[in-house]
Amino acid sequence: MLPSETTPSPAHSGLQLYSYFRSSAAYRVRIALALKGLSYETIPIHLLKDGGQQNASHYRSINPQGLVPALQTAEGGPVLAQSLAILEYLDETYPEPALLPADAMGRARVRAIAQMVACDIHPLNNLRVLRYLVRDLGLSHEQKDAWYAHWIALGLQAVEDTLARSSDTGRFCHGDTPGLADCCLVPQYANAQRAGCPTQPYPTIERIVSNCQALPAFVQAAPQNQPDAD
Amino acid sequence: MLPSETTPSPAHSGLQLYSYFRSSAAYRVRIALALKGLSYETIPIHLLKDGGQQNASHYRSINPQGLVPALQTAEGGPVLAQSLAILEYLDETYPEPALLPADAMGRARVRAIAQMVACDIHPLNNLRVLRYLVRDLGLSHEQKDAWYAHWIALGLQAVEDTLARSSDTGRFCHGDTPGLADCCLVPQYANAQRAGCPTQPYPTIERIVSNCQALPAFVQAAPQNQPDAD
C-alpha cells in the first residue's frame, strides 16, 4: 500500500483500488464496483506525475507490470492485476447483480465483446504505446492521432456489427441488464469521444452507451467524478 | 462454414476451429482442446493467401472482426470469437481437466497472467499492426523489428517477475498442472523465439515452457503439426 494520497470512502468494504481517473481499464473496474454497490478505497496512481507513479519501485513491487488498475481484495493476499481478471474476480466473489449471463454461450459472447475492446482496441492506444510512437519512432502528432483513430474505427465497427446482428443484444450489450461487456464498452466510447473520433457510425453502441450513462453506477465511476480527477 | 479446405479429424466432437497454423491466438485454443482430449475439425483461414482469407466476406459473416480463431460449438449457434472467451467456454463446457484453479484468487491470478500476454503483448505485435507500421506509417523493417522486440521484452519481463516472485508458481504457471495461463504463454514464447528475441532473461518462463513442451497436448497443438502448415 502506498503511504500517501489515499482517499478513504466511508465504511468501505476492505477493497482498495489502485486507479487513475483517466485510465479506461480502471474505469471498467470502477463501473463493476459501483454496479455491485461495493464501496472501496481509491489509491491514486497518477500516470503523468513524477515521471509516472506507476513506474515507481513501490508500485512495481505491488504490480510488476506497472499498470493500473490493481485491486487489493478484502481477503488480503497479493494484489490482483488486469482489469478483466479483476472483473471476473468481483463477479465470482460478489455475485449480485451478475455481470455475466447464466449460460456458457452467453458468457462466451459477453466475454468476447469485452475482449474486442480490452484486447483489440485499448492496448493499441494506451499511454505507453502512444509515447513509443512519438518518442521512439519519431512519428508526428498527426500520425499518432491517425493511428489512434484507425484502431478505434476498426474496433468499434466490429463491436457494432457484433451487437447489431444479434438478437441477444438488448438495452445493453447482452439483454436488458448491464454487464461485463458494458463495463468495457463505455470507457472505450468515452476515450473515442475525448479523442474526437466519430461515433455516429455505431448507432447500436451509441444507444447502449446512452442507456448505461443513465444509470447512477456509470455516473459514479466516470473519470470526472473520481477523487483524483484534476 | 467455408466450403473448401476442411480437414476432418477422425470421430470429431462436433467442434470446428477456424484456425491459422501460425496464429498464436489460435494456438492457445488448440492447446486447450488437446489438453481436454477434444478432437475437432480444423477450418484453415490463411492470413496471407488471397489478400487474407480472414477478410473475405464469408468469413466476416462468421466473425465480424475478421480474426482467428473462431469456434463453432458442438451445440450449434453463433460461432464464438476471441481466444480467451473460447478458452473459458471450453473450460465451462468440458470441465476436465480444469484450466482454471478452484479458488477465486487463483483464478484471478491465472487470468491475469493470460491477459498479460493476450492484452499487453500479442495485440501489439500481430499481423495487422505490423502491417500498419510499415505500410501506413512508412517505418523501416528495422523499426518494425525493434517495436516487436520492445513489447516482447517489456511483457515477458513482467510475466517473469510475476511468476518468479510467487509461491503459486509450480512446474507450470500455477501449480503443477498446465492451465489457461500456460495456453497463452507457450505460443507467445514461440513467437518470441521465432522473431529471434532473447529468452534467457526469463528463466522461470523458460522452465515452464520446457515443461509444457514435454506434454503431448502442447506438441499436438504446435504450428508445425497443423493440417494447414506450409
**pLDDT per residue over A84-140, tens digit each?**
999 999 999 999 999 999 999 999 999 999 999 999 999 999 999 999 999 999 999
Q: Which chain A residues contact residue B139 at CB under 8 A?
A: 137
From B230, B182, B183, select the one nearest B22 (Cα to Cα): B230
Work out the pLDDT band at B5, boundaries 50, 70, 90.
very low
Outline where A48-140 has alpha helix (H): 57-62, 83-93, 104-118, 127-131
CATH number at residue B212: 1.20.1050.10
| Candidate from A88, A150, A158 with C-beta closest to B65 | A158
Same domain, residue pair A93 and A108: no
- Average pLDDT along chain B: 92
* Contact between chains at B85 and A139 (C-beta distance less than 8 A): no
pLDDT of B3 > 50? The answer is no
Show which of B78, B97, B116 is a domain's final residue.
Answer: B97
pLDDT of B188 reads 98
Considering only alpha carbons, which residue of chain B is nearest residue A69? B112
User: How many angstroms separate the CA of residue A149 from the nearest CA in chain B?
Assistant: 13
Same domain, residue pair A88 and A109: no
Sequence-separated (6 or more) residues with CB below 8 Å from residue A48: none
Domain contains A35: yes
Strands (E), chain A: 16-19, 41-44, 70-72, 80-81
pLDDT of B53 reads 83
User: How many angstroms separate the CA of residue A82 from the nearest CA in chain B?
Assistant: 5
Q: Which chain A residues contact residue B66 at CB under 8 A?
A: 158
pLDDT of A8 reads 43
Work out the pLDDT band at A1, boundaries 50, 70, 90.
very low
pLDDT of A15 reads 96
| Candidate from A89, A118, A147 with C-beta closest to B104 | A89
Work out the pLDDT band at B12, boundaries 50, 70, 90.
low
Per residue in A41-97, pLDDT (tens digit) is: 999 998 888 778 888 888 988 888 888 999 999 988 889 999 999 999 999 999 999
Q: Which chain A residues contact residue B93 at CB under 8 A?
A: 104
Same domain, residue pair A82 and A123: no
pLDDT of B49 > 60? The answer is yes
pLDDT of A230 reads 85
| Candidate from A64, A82, A143 with C-beta closest to B115 | A82
Considering only alpha carbons, which residue of chain A is nearest residue B66? A158
Q: Number of A:B CB contacts under 8 A? A: 129
A70-72 sheet: strands from edge to edge: A41-44, A16-19, A70-72, A80-81
Same domain, residue pair B129 and B194: yes
pLDDT of A10 > 60? The answer is no
Distance CA A11, CA B128 (A): 48
| Candidate from B115, B146, B161 with C-beta closest to A85 | B115
Same domain, residue pair B71 and B90: yes
Question: C-alpha cell of A173?
Answer: 450489450
pLDDT of A14 reads 92
- Average pLDDT rounded to a whole number, residues A30-40: 97
From A73, A126, A107, select the one nearest A180 (Cα to Cα): A107
| Candidate from B64, B124, B137 with C-beta closest to A158 | B64
CATH number at residue A89: 3.40.30.10
Per residue in A149-194, pLDDT (tens digit) is: 999 999 999 999 999 999 999 999 999 999 999 999 999 999 999 9
| Candidate from B85, B111, B166 with C-beta closest to A108 | B85
pLDDT of B216 > 90? The answer is yes
Which residue carries 520492445 as its cell?
B150
pLDDT of A12 > 70? The answer is no
Distance CA B10, CA B99 (A): 25
Distance CA B9, CA A191 (A): 45
* Contact between chains at A150 and B136 (C-beta distance less than 8 A): yes
pLDDT of B9 reads 44
Work out the pLDDT band at B142, boundaries 50, 70, 90.
very high
Domain contains A224: no
Same domain, residue pair A214 and A111: yes
Q: By the 8 A CB rule, do B188 and A100 touch?
A: no
User: How many angstroms separate the CA of residue B102 from the nearest CA in chain A?
Assistant: 11
Q: Which domain holds residue A167?
A: 104-218
Q: Which of A10-19, A37-46, B37-46, B162-171 has the weakest average pLDDT? A: A10-19
pLDDT of B119 > 70? The answer is yes
Distance CA B177, CA A29 (A): 30
The packing angle between helices B104-118 and B83-93, to 10°, is 150
pLDDT of B97 > 80? The answer is yes
Structural domain total, chain B: 2
Same domain, residue pair A112 and A93: no
Domain contains A5: no
pLDDT of B2 > 50? The answer is no
User: How many angstroms separate the CA of residue B44 from the nearest CA in chain A?
Assistant: 21
Domain contains B1: no
pLDDT of B204 > 60? The answer is yes
Domain contains B5: no
Show which of B59, B78, B97 is a domain's final residue.
Answer: B97
Distance CA A55, CA A112 (A): 30
Show which of A44, A73, A97 is a domain's final residue.
Answer: A97
Q: Which chain A residues contact residue B75 at CB under 8 A?
A: 105
pLDDT of A7 > 50? The answer is no
Considering only alpha carbons, which residue of chain A is nearest residue B86? A108
Query: Sign of the CA dihedral A119, B77, B220, B43?
Result: negative
Distance CA B18, CA B20 (A): 7
